[in-house]
């Protein structure tokens, strides 16, 4: 589940998981390695969605996954804004 706190860590390191690792994995109590790929992949898909580069069906699938992984509406909106 992606939360606003996890997005804050992601933004702090500019989406760079190597930088996070080199910094000693701060806030690892809330942020796991798998969160990098979850956020990164979703942001890539949301960017394509926002630019109308996906089919209607794929767009619906992306929106469904966003609802599944975002902890709440504020997190979903933050992900969309970040894309």
Q: What is the pLDDT of residues 36-69, one digit of tens each?
A: 999 999 999 999 999 999 999 999 999 999 999 9
CB 7 within 8 A of CB 42: no
Percent of the residues in the chain that have a pLDDT greater than 90, as a whole number: 89
pLDDT of residue 72: 97
What angle separates helix 56-69 from helix 73-82, to the nearest 10 degrees? 130
Domain ranges (residues) in the chain:
4-82
Judged by DSSP in three states, 82 sits in helix
- Rounded Cα gap, residues 1 and 39, in angstroms: 10
Kindly tell me if the per-residue pLDDT of 31 is higher than 90.
no
pLDDT of residue 50: 95
- Could you tell me the end-to-end alpha-carbon distance of the chain, in angstroms, rounded to an integer? 18
Q: How many residues in the chain?
A: 83
């Amino acid at each position: 589940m992606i939360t606003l706190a996890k997005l804050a860590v992601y933004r702090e390191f500019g989406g760079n998981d190597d930088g996070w690792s080199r910094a000693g994995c701060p806030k690892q109590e809330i942020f796991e390695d798998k969160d990098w790929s979850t956020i990164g992949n979703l942001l890539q898909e949301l960017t394509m969605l926002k630019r109308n580069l996906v089919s209607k069906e794929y767009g619906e699938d992306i929106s469904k996954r966003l609802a599944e992984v975002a902890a709440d509406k504020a997190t979903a909106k933050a992900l969309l804004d970040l894309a």
